[in-house]
């Protein structure tokens, strides 16, 4: 039923203007559409990311959004760090921390937060 349908990631934020600066200037996403002052939709590859105003922004304690960046993870993480992104460091079984990137076998992952504390990540593997 849904296996051939496009999914849209929803990210709750407190202030859409502040979030837009982060998602556009820091992450490099381009707006696809805007609905008033409360909703902005971005396109990332074939995925839509909708950022919307919510009183529940930043309450999710798990990863909200992940990009599969393949073997570009090191350069993308370095570029984001140069733009002021602070990466999260977690003590997780089976993963070792190499700089800001967690490594486990062939998989690499780097977690960071948006201005509202939503957990975002890069992954390869």
CATH of residue 23: 3.10.180.10
Domain-located, residue 1: no
The number of domains in the chain is: 1
98 pLDDT higher than 90: yes
Write out the residue range of the structural domain in which residue 50 sits.
Answer: 8-124
Q: What share of the chain is helix, strand, coil (3-state, %, to 5)?
A: 20, 40, 40
Average pLDDT rounded to a whole number, residues 56-70: 95
Average pLDDT rounded to a whole number, residues 100-110: 97
Question: How far is it, in rounded angstroms, from Cα 114 to Cα 86?
Answer: 10
**Would you place residue 1 in the very low, low, confident or very high pLDDT band (cuts 50, 70, 90)?**
confident
Domain-located, residue 3: no
Domain-located, residue 2: no
Average pLDDT rounded to a whole number, residues 85-90: 97
Average pLDDT rounded to a whole number, residues 74-78: 98
Strand partners, 9: 49
Average pLDDT rounded to a whole number, residues 62-69: 96
Sign for the pseudo-dihedral over CA of 100, 109, 65, 25: positive
Q: Tokens for 84?
A: 């002021």
Task: Note the pTM of the prediction, 2 decimals.
Answer: 0.93
113 pLDDT higher than 80: yes
């Amino acid at each position: 039923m849904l296996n051939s349908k496009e999914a849209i990631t929803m990210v709750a934020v407190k202030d859409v203007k502040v979030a837009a600066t982060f998602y556009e200037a820091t992450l490099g996403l381009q707006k696809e559409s805007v609905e008033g002052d409360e909703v902005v939709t971005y396109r990332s590859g074939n995925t839509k990311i909708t950022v919307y105003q919510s009183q529940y922004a930043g309450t999710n304690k798990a990863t909200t959004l992940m990009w599969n960046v393949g073997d570009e993870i090191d350069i993308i993480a370095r570029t984001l760090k140069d733009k002021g992104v602070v990466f999260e460091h977690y003590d997780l079984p089976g993963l070792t921390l190499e700089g800001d990137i967690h490594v486990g076998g062939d998989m690499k992952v780097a977690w960071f937060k948006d201005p509202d504390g939503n957990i975002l990540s890069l992954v390869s593997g």
